[in-house]
């Protein structure tokens, strides 16, 4: 599978972490810090849809889509969330991040982070909170060197900069702590996310950037008026 070609600099802007700065100073770029893996490998079944098909004596028909990000987006838009979730499992297996691979070094790419982001959003929508907590834990605090384009020579040589972690993944990373024995941890993470977001907003507002770039980051700040706990 090829890289999705969805890199847009202003979307991926993010302050460098201390861990990244240390790695860059050392000049070593071969260590894998983020090692995620699927925890749910059995396909999810839409029991209500299956029951309805049995009652109406009609086969349950699912849309046929390509096994790629475009297919995943089609399933999400059409409301086939469980099928979309199952597709994320298949996609992550292609990248060596399938079932049983957590804790093993695999290649993190822009596309793997996009797939994980979609998967976590689907898990939140499907209320698979305990599984989500397990699967998101290898991402730690989203500040590992290998979450940044700057750490990967193949991306750095293309002029990519910033973080591969999507903003939606950051939001879920903060919110999921609501469903743990320590829900107050969500506030700590959301305050940190707010601080980092405002840094980027200040950066884009103080520079000569197109209005749509400034608008995107302005839209993200009001989110923090939401009460999490």
How far apart are the C-alpha atoms of 128 and 133, rounded to whole Å? 9
Range 23-38 average pLDDT: 95
**Token output for 143:** 């500040």
> Phi-psi bin for 69: left (phi > 0), alpha (psi -120 to 50), beta?
alpha
- Work out the average pLDDT over 193-202: 95
Q: What is the pLDDT of residue 39?
A: 96
**Residue 157 to residues 37, 45, 149, 216: CA-CA distances in angstroms?**
28, 43, 10, 27
As a whole number of angstroms, the distance between CA 196 and CA 202 comes to: 10
Q: How far apart are CA 187 and CA 191, in angstroms?
A: 6
Q: Please give the model's pTM, rounded to 2 decimal places.
A: 0.89
Identify the band that residue 64 occupies on the pLDDT scale cut at 50, 70 and 90: confident
Q: How much is the mean pLDDT over the chain?
A: 90
Mean pLDDT, rounded, for 140-153: 97
Report angle CA 48, 51, 55 to the nearest 5 degrees.
135
Q: What is the mean pLDDT of residues 19-43?
A: 95
Which pLDDT does position 227 carry in this prediction?
A: 45
Q: Which residues pair with 163 in a beta bridge?
A: 148
Residue 83, H or E segment: helix 81-94
Q: Which helix (H) or strand (E) holds 213?
A: helix 211-220
Rounded Cα distance between 84 and 66, Å, is 11
Q: Which of 192, 195, 217, 191 is nearest to 204 (CA)?
A: 217
Contacts of 82 (CB under 8 A, 6+ apart): 44, 45, 46, 126
| Region 199-227 average pLDDT | 86
Domains of the chain, residue spans: 9-166
Q: How confident is the model at residue 45 (pLDDT cuts 50, 70, 90)?
A: confident
Q: Which residue has the tokens 């500040």?
A: 143
* Tens of pLDDT, residues 73-94: 999 999 999 999 999 999 999 9
How do residues 122-132 score in pLDDT, each as one tens digit? 999 999 999 99
């Amino acid at each position: 599978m090829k890289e999705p070609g969805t890199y847009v600099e202003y979307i991926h802007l993010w302050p460098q972490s201390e861990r990244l700065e240390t790695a860059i100073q050392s000049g070593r770029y071969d260590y894998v810090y983020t090692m995620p893996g699927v925890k749910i490998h059995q396909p999810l079944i839409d029991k209500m849809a299956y029951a309805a098909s049995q009652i109406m004596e009609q086969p349950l028909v699912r849309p046929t889509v390509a096994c790629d990000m475009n297919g995943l987006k089609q399933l999400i838009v059409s409301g086939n969330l469980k099928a979309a979730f199952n597709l994320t499992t298949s996609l992550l297996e292609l990248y060596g991040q399938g079932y049983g691979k957590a804790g093993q070094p695999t290649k993190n790419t822009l596309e793997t982070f996009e797939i994980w982001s979609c998967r976590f959003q689907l898990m939140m929508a499907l209320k698979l909170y305990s599984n989500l907590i397990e699967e998101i834990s290898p991402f730690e605090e989203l500040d590992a060197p290998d979450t940044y384009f700057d750490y990967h020579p193949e991306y750095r040589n293309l002029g990519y900069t910033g973080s591969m972690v999507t903003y939606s993944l950051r939001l879920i990373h903060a919110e999921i702590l609501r469903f743990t024995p320590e829900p107050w941890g969500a506030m700590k993470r959301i305050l940190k996310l707010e601080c980092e977001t405002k840094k980027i907003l200040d950066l884009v507002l103080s520079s000569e950037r197109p209005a749509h770039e400034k608008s995107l980051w302005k839209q993200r700040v009001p989110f923090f008026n939401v009460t999490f706990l």
